[in-house]
A and B are shown apart, each in its own frame.
Chain A
């Protein structure tokens, strides 16, 4: 062939199956995290839709394929006299030839083998990031270490067996008692809800009163009525509400419990906004989400499923 024809568009006809295929793949990936049943359904959808898609796309090409005379073996006596005449007289054979069947089955079996080998490997690459990631409760020591209405910078190891790399920082303020007579603490996570930099308390740290407890916990009282982030200038007030800069919500907080007179940190949660202060604060509470993601308002629709809310 000469230099002709390669500039014409070769566009396959419209087909809905790519969408079904994508849904199947998405369902499969989601299922890998949530449950194997969902994954199996997703895989089935993907395989069926992929097959139908391929059938749609190759429709034109298949249409143009002229039926090829298959090899035929003439009977012995006619072969000796005049085989060509006999072959020409035969009725046309079906276009779906043996070689096309072998071609398709080789590709299909190859793809199946590839999928069987690849999927578990991909699963191992992705899944450990999402499974068994719950962190234990952290014991911050006796509540007497937390003077009323003052912030204390508490650092602790969220997973002591892994070591220093799991050290986290929380800003703990003892609010005294609520109106109902229950102990109240404001415990802010130091991670900025803009993009995760370490928020610093704006105020002098009392290094003299620094305490180190036996389980790697370190406490330093600080006179702080606001918190600032050094990376991009986020500013929060004493309740963790955004005052200035790029953060999209209030600072994350910890749940807490008091066991044998000791303050124990529970899970993190995200905060849309805090009204009021201290023990009487009204907190709009949401499941924890990644820094930079909205938890309330229209923007929260952009993050319908956050992994930490699915897998714990």
Chain B
């Protein structure tokens, strides 16, 4: 009997220990899953890419000149500010493409903004993830008629008073060219992407994209007037890859 009691105690202890182990394992798994969900990352291990973009000097001058021209007669007398050649670097979008990157992001359903100020769209180029709501706000005391006929998003918000924000959902990936029907020199580009691994370089052309899951992707650079560049890239755990582009 005594031996039986001892055996039963041991069995009970073993079962309790086993249950605790299983419970802790399940809890740890849940915790990890929850953590993964919170961070929005498939892999805990990731890497980054950075580099510098160079625009050929001649093109830089042409781009600068191209964006300076005055309004034609008939438009309101607003002379757009001269855009410096170095500003063109900020109009480049660098982004990653890859099947495993196509997923919803926390940056979806965010609001971004394009102002119409002094007969210009500001910013001139905006990169967003699919699902982003872009608010168009007229900051001038004259009308602008913002529209796009791009397949990625066709819309016409009409003439809107000063200060009124008009939301437009960018629900398809692609390039959305935006214009004003009243001021023919006004234009803007919205680059709608499938994932949130993108950036726009600083005025020196430097760019960096962090927290990229390990894998093989295509790194692309886009500019409205220049030939797009692309290069395959493999992201290794905890590594930084440097890729420079020359755009012509």
The answer on A and B forming one complex is: no
